[in-house]
Structure formats: C-alpha cells, structure tokens
Amino acid sequence: MPRIGMEPLRRKALIVAAIDAIHDRGMGHVTMGEIARRAGVSAALAHHYFGGKDQLLLATMRHLLAELGDEVQAELAKANSPQERISAVIRGNFSACQFRPAVISAWLAFYVQAQTDPEARRLLRIYTRRLESNLLHALRDLTSRAQAERVAEMAASLIDGLWIRRSLAESGPDAEGAADLVERAINDALKRKDA
Amino acid sequence: MPRIGMEPLRRKALIVAAIDAIHDRGMGHVTMGEIARRAGVSAALAHHYFGGKDQLLLATMRHLLAELGDEVQAELAKANSPQERISAVIRGNFSACQFRPAVISAWLAFYVQAQTDPEARRLLRIYTRRLESNLLHALRDLTSRAQAERVAEMAASLIDGLWIRRSLAESGPDAEGAADLVERAINDALKRKDA
Amino acid sequence: MPRIGMEPLRRKALIVAAIDAIHDRGMGHVTMGEIARRAGVSAALAHHYFGGKDQLLLATMRHLLAELGDEVQAELAKANSPQERISAVIRGNFSACQFRPAVISAWLAFYVQAQTDPEARRLLRIYTRRLESNLLHALRDLTSRAQAERVAEMAASLIDGLWIRRSLAESGPDAEGAADLVERAINDALKRKDA
Amino acid sequence: MPRIGMEPLRRKALIVAAIDAIHDRGMGHVTMGEIARRAGVSAALAHHYFGGKDQLLLATMRHLLAELGDEVQAELAKANSPQERISAVIRGNFSACQFRPAVISAWLAFYVQAQTDPEARRLLRIYTRRLESNLLHALRDLTSRAQAERVAEMAASLIDGLWIRRSLAESGPDAEGAADLVERAINDALKRKDA
DNA sequence: AATGAATGAGTTTTCATTCAT
DNA sequence: GATGAATGAAAACTCATTCAT
C-alpha cells in the first residue's frame, strides 16, 4: 500500500531499526534483512533507499552524531557561566537518549568500524574534535591555555571511558553519576596550582 | 610436512594473525580463511585446532587478557610503595605491547563482541574487575575506602577512555603521556579533603 | 504533466533509449530502469507501454528491422539498372543510420537473443531472407540462377561479416569502404565463367 | 568425495558447461548456478575456481580462442603451398569443433560482450588480428601487398559473416560449403588484374 | 598432522513487476 | 496518463565447516 512521501519516514525507521539490530545481534551479525524486518519493510527497500548495507550503517552513525550534537547544543543554550557550560557539555554527552544500551552498543560498533573504514573514521573524528573543542572553550575562561588543554583531554577521555564501561556494566554509574564523576575530576584538576 | 610439537606454535601464530586481521579488516570482515592465510596454514587446520571461528576469537581474547595480566604483574613486582603500585598498574595497562594499534583494535572489537556474546562478556568483566581491584588495592593505603573506590573507578574509566581515543588518534597521547595523565588525575583527586 | 498524444513519442523515446542502453551496458546488463531513465520516464511507464522488458526489446528489434527495410527501399527506388539495384541494396545496408556503433551493438545483441528466443529468431530470419531476396532479384538479370544464388549468399555473408567486424574496429572500414568492398567482390564473382 | 588434482578437470568441465549454457539459455540468462549444475559441481566451487561469473566467461572465451588457434595451426602445419595455406586458414576456422551451434552461440555472445567489456574486446581483437595476419601471410606470395590486404579483409569478413549466418540457419552452409565459398571468393578476387 | 576439495546455508544485491494514488 | 512506493524472486557471492586423502 504505497503512499507518497514515505521516504523520510522509512529512512528514519530503518536507522532506528539499525541501532537496535546492532545492539541485539552485534555489528558483525546485522543483516539488511534483519534491519528491514524490524523496520517493517523489505530488504530490497532498505537497499533502494540507502544503496547498501555500509551506507545504511554510515547513515545511522551520522544520525547518532547529529543527535548527540543537538543534545549538547540544547544543554549549552541554557548555560550562563563557564561552570555551567562545562556541566552542559558533560550532561549533553550523558543525556538519557545517548546513554541507552542500544545506543552505546552502536557507538562502540562505530568505533570499531572506524579502525578500518575511512568514512566512519572521519565522522568519529568530528565528534572527538567537537567534544574537545566544547570543553576547551568552557575551560578557557577558568584557567591557563596549557592547563585547559590538559584538562579537556582528560575530561574527554573520561567521558569516553565511562561510556565504554557502561556498555559492560550490569549496573555501573548511571548517567547522573557519570556526569558527577567527570565534573568532580575536572574541578580537582583545576585546583592544581602549578599547571 | 607435519612435524611434531608444531601445535603450540601454530596456535600462537593463528592468534597473532587473528589480531592483525581484526585490525586490518575489522571484526565484521575477518574470516577464517584470512586469518589462516596470514598464519601460513590452511583454514581447515585453524578449524581443527580451535574448533571454530568463535572459539579462535575467544582464544585470541584470552591471549590478550593473559598478556595484559602478565604485563601488570611484571610492573607490580617491581613496585615498593603504594604510589609505585598505582604507577605500576597504569604503566602495565599502557605498556608498549598493549598500546599497539592492532591490539587496541582487537580490544575494541572484543568490547563490541561482549555486547552480545556472554563468554566474551564474562572474559571482559574479568579484566574490568582485575583492573579496578588492582587500583583499589594500591589506593587503600593512601585514603579512605569510599574515596579509594571513587578514584579507582575514575582511573579505570580514564584508562579505557585513553585507549579508545588512542585508536582514532593520528598522533594522540603516547603511552608515556597517557600514563602521566592518569597519574596526575589520581593525585589531583586524592588531594581533595572532603571525600 | 501528462498531455494527450504523448504515447507514440514516449514509445519512440524508449526504443531509442533501449538501443543506446544496449550499446552502453550490454544486453546482459540493460534494465528497464536504465532504459526508462534515459528516456526520461519512470520504469513503470515503460512497463505500462510495452507490457514487459522482453516486449520492449522485441519492439526495439522490430524498429531496427523496419528502419533498415525503409532505407533499402529508399535506395532501391532510385535505382534504374540491375547494377544500380545491387548497389542500392548494399548501400542501404550500410547507410549512415545503420552503421552507427549503438545500432551495430543492438543488432549483434539481437543475433544473440535469436539463439534462444523464437520470436527474435523469426524477426531476424525476415531480415535475412529479405536481404537475400533483394540481392537475388537484382542478380537474376545478370547471370544464371545458380550463380545468382551463390553470389547472393556470398554477398549477404560479406555484409554481415563487415558489420560484425566493424563493431570491434577502432577505425575499420567506413560505410563507404564497406559498400565498395562488397560491390567489388560481387563483380569479381560475376566474372567467373564456369559458374 | 574430494580427491586431489581435481582443479584442472573442474575448470575444464565448467568451461565446457558454460559454452553449452550460453547456447541454451543465452548469455543474458546464464547463471553460475546453471553452469555449475551442468558441470556437476556447486555454484560455490565455480566461484572458488574462477572468482566470479565474468571471469568464468572470460576464461571460456580464452579457451575458445586457444582452441581455434590450435585448430588453425594444425591445418597450417600440413600446408605446403600458398594456396594450401589459404585453404588451411579457412578450414581451420570452419573446423568441425568450431562450427558447432553451441560454439557459434558462444562466439556471438562474446562479440556482444566485447562491445562493453574491454577485456573481452582485447581478446577478440587478438583473434581478429591473427586471422587477418594468417590470411595476409598466405596471400603475400600470390599478389601485390595492396591487393593482398584488400583480399584478406574481404576473406576475414566473409568468414565472420558465414559464422553469424550459420547461427540462424536451419540448414545453411555446412562447414565444407562455407570453406568452399570463401576459397572461391578469394580466387575470384585474385583474378582481378587492375588491383 | 595437514590440506585441497567441496558444499550448504546464508547474505547482499539486483530487478522486473505491481499497485495505490 | 504517470509515478513513487514497494516487493518477491532470483542471482551473485561469501564463508564456516566437513571430509577424503
């Protein structure tokens, strides 16, 4: 029962299905058929819209990247001080929507993909740079450039590390706890005088 | 020309080949044939030795895990103070052999694997717990139990995060720099009085 | 924006597109989608007009056949002697419109098609017989029936052979040269006394 | 029941099966599965040995080309005069093994293939040049260079044309008749004084 | 012990064709 | 009349795995 104007809806449905499929089956075992089935369409349609498995996966990654960017921006828009901006970046990264198991699985899978696929690597580098740049920006008002860079790198690594550990955790730190942990580490680091 | 006593050598060669293959082709694209070719044996032999692809991959993971454990133990054996023990755990985790791109790729791939494969998950949890336990042990002599736990979690996350970021870096933090970064964060955290 | 009276134009455009598509992609790789795209319509429409891929291809063949017939008839209409009629048949077969690479490719493809498809075979036999009959007719006034038949067969084969070779040629005989070659061969054959 | 040393046998069987399959189904409809089934092996094995459909088809073409070359060489080896050499080239091209319907179909299909596939084109050009060169060589002892070239081109075209017509014929010229027809045309052409 | 031979099961991919609008 | 949407069916291709030697 084809209706017109379905394309964007199907694309979105396929991307959402891809995230879940990656979580459930593992990147190595996702098939177009599986993804399409979850999205309620035929594998042929998924091909038609995305051109192939790899491109569907990259589109999924771009979607995740954009969503994360939006989430951080939304938090930043509400911030009124350097402290609040730091907090906003951190909380954006740990927002409910990002910290879901399926999404974490997908991010991890893309990190793996990026080891071999140049386009995935390029996309992931954008995320990496943006995170560091956001942190650096907020820290610049609080300390020296040299220390700001060190702290930003530490904070970015910590965020990634908490994500990756979360993927294994039965319970582990919830989003709230993770954000607090990062903020505390930043504050501790900023107290250091000699840096 | 089969010779006696070849089995352990073949197994080792296959595991090393698996690590490289995962790095070069990506976990999703490694094949028994590819691994066997790199190891200079037939796919049938790889199968014969390990019983199947999944088991070869798990054996590779166990190998990595054991190697990391040995490396940390070797560092710890040389340590004579709490501070040195902390440093030993960190440096063990960033040792030259562990911080090679191919090895990082493989670890990442196993994190992904662990999302769906219970045995991989079990093995990875062993690593996680061992790391935290090692850190906790060293920190117990320097601070309160509550703070030691918080700092250990932070340090463990930081180590994982630096690994994952390293996998994308063109240059990124070298092993030395990564270790320093973690030690500094631990020291900063320990200075905090209220915790 | 559908307008009335478009059907014949669409049909023609699709047939022309089919010829080009066969040339560019090869008969084995032509798709309805490709042909329709070249003709600027949807695949569904192509289907609607012709009833299916096979029928579009057969229509294309009929078009080529008709065009060749017309061209030979046009030349014949101007001929006033047996010699001129022979020349007319040959020149009709090598007329500019027929000797284009895309058209040659299409003819070749239909020869292949005819090996398995009875309708294509039937159509191609019509061409074959018409060519031989045209030649025979012109030759009957110049020699014995037996020799006329032999020469006609030789000439027809030569025409087909020059076509097929032309399809591979970087330069090869142009239409003019090809026609001269055939005429000369016919004249040489007619000089033979004993036949 | 795998035995060693099967590879060459399988390759040959697959090539023979490919020729028959092309004849029966038409190049556009041959499938690896069909060819493999005729050869009595799995489609996977055909892939394993040839790497893909295109390459199996090219291998088939190379086989046909080599066979034709051998056949002409065998005839040439027995020839002791220019006249006999000409006859040898012609008879080699129409030898029983070459003039079988399935083989003719395959050749035709490769002509079509050559319109789009550079490798097929290259291979076919080799055949084309070899035929012309063989004819030219034999003719050089009988007439001027200029006339030898013209006659060689005519003869080569005639050979190709007789093949292509044969592919449609219910009866048509048998190998013997085709060879005679070409020889006669050559002799007629050589009688011409002014060339 | 080791391997070439062989395949079945499964995946991606392609495409003619159908249908609601 | 014309098309975007959608798919079933079939094809190429991949690969872990088995087996005779």
Angle of CA points A137, A143, A146, to nearest 5°: 80
The residue among A51, A69, A89 that closes a domain is A51
Pure H helices in D40-172: 43-50, 53-78, 82-93, 101-116, 118-140, 145-166
For residue B40, what is the domain's CATH number? Answer: 1.10.10.60
Q: Are D155 and D186 a contacting pair, CB within 8 Å?
A: yes
B11 touches strand F (CB under 7 A): no
pLDDT at A138 over 50: yes
Q: Quick one: A7 and A28 in the same domain?
A: yes
Regarding whether D87 and D28 lie in a shared domain, the answer is no
CB pairs under 8 A between A and B: 135
Note down the domain range covering A8.
1-51
C44 nearest nucleotide via C1' and CA: F3
**Subunits close to C (at least 3 CB pairs below 8 A):** D
Place of tokens 């099967």: D6
Distance in angstroms (rounded) separating the CA atoms of residues C49 and C10:
9
Dist CA C52 CA C47 (whole Å): 5
Q: What is the DSSP letter of C28?
A: G
CA distance C46 to C109: 20
CB-facing half-sphere around the CA of B192: CA atoms within 13 A: 20
Q: What percent of chain B has pLDDT over 90?
A: 74
CATH number at D82 reads 1.10.357.10
Q: Choose the weakest-confidence range: A68-72, B48-52, D172-176.
A: D172-176
Chain A residue closest to B101 (CA)?
Answer: A115
> Which two structure tokens, joined as six digits, stand for A63?
């979607």
One domain, residues D161 and D81:
yes
Residue C1: its pLDDT value, please?
47
Chain D residue at shortest CA distance from C161: D161
The whole-chain average pLDDT of chain B stands at: 90
Q: Do B114 and A150 touch (CB under 8 A)?
A: no
pLDDT of residue B172: 54
- Give the per-residue pLDDT at B7: 84
Is the same domain home to D39 and D109?
A: no
Which residue's entry shows tokens 């790789």?
Answer: C29
- The label of the residue with tokens 């989003």 reads A175
Q: pLDDT value at position C28?
A: 81
Q: Summarize the confidence of residues A156-173 as an average pLDDT.
A: 84
CB atoms D159 and C156 under 8 Å: no
The answer to whether residues D17 and D94 belong to one domain is: no
Closest chain A residue to B121, measured at CA: A168
pLDDT recorded at residue D168: 86
The region, left, alpha or beta by phi > 0 then psi within -120 to 50, assigned to residue D192 is beta
Question: Do D100 and D26 share a structural domain?
Answer: no
Domain co-membership, D30 together with D104: no
Q: Give the mean pLDDT of B62-84.
A: 94
Residues 6-35 on chain C lying near strand F, CB distance under 7 A: 6-7, 10
What is the residue-level pLDDT of chain D in tens, covering all 195 positions?
Answer: 456 889 999 999 999 999 999 999 888 889 999 999 999 999 999 999 999 999 999 999 999 999 999 999 999 999 999 999 999 999 999 987 778 889 999 999 899 889 888 999 999 999 899 999 999 999 999 999 999 999 999 999 999 999 999 888 876 558 899 999 999 999 999 987 654
Residue B1 has a pLDDT of: 47
Please check the confidence at residue B173 and state whether its pLDDT lies above 60.
no
Is A43's CB less than 7 Å from nucleic acid strand F? yes
* A98 and A121 within one domain: yes
C187 and C171 fall within a common domain: yes
SS3 (DSSP) at D188: helix
Are the beta carbons of C158 and D159 separated by less than 8 Å?
Answer: no
Residues of chain C with confidence (pLDDT) below 70: 1-4, 171-173, 193-195
Alpha carbon of residue A114 to chain centroid = 14
Helix ranges (DSSP H) in A29-81: 32-39, 43-50, 53-77
Residues A75, A42 share a domain: no
Q: For residues B167 and B171, give the distance between their C-alpha atoms in angstroms, rounded to a whole number.
A: 10
* Nearest-angstrom CA–CA distance, A33 and A36: 5
Decide if B26 and A117 are in contact by the 8 Å CB cutoff: yes
- pLDDT at residue number A28: 81
Q: Provide mean pLDDT across the span B46-58.
A: 95
Closest CA to C86 of C188, C154, C186, C195: C186
CA atoms of D83 and D85, how far apart (whole Å): 5
Distance from CA of B112 to the nearest CA of A (A): 6
pLDDT at B129 over 50: yes
* Tokens of residue C27, six digits: 């008969």
Contacts of residues B82-85 at CB distance under 8 Å and 24 or more positions apart, as own/partner, are: B82/B138, B82/B139, B82/B141, B82/B142, B83/B142, B85/B137, B85/B138
- CB-CB neighbors (< 8 A) of D26 in chain C: 112-113, 115-117
Domain count, chain B: 2
Judge if C20 and C107 occupy the same domain. no
What per-residue confidence (pLDDT) applies to A50?
96
Protein residue closest to E3, using CA and C1': B42
- Asked if C88 and C133 sit in the same domain, the reply is yes
Q: Is A24–B116 a contact, with Cβ atoms under 8 angstroms apart? A: yes
Using a CB-CB distance cutoff of 8 angstroms, which residues of chain B are in contact with residue A26?
112-113, 115-117
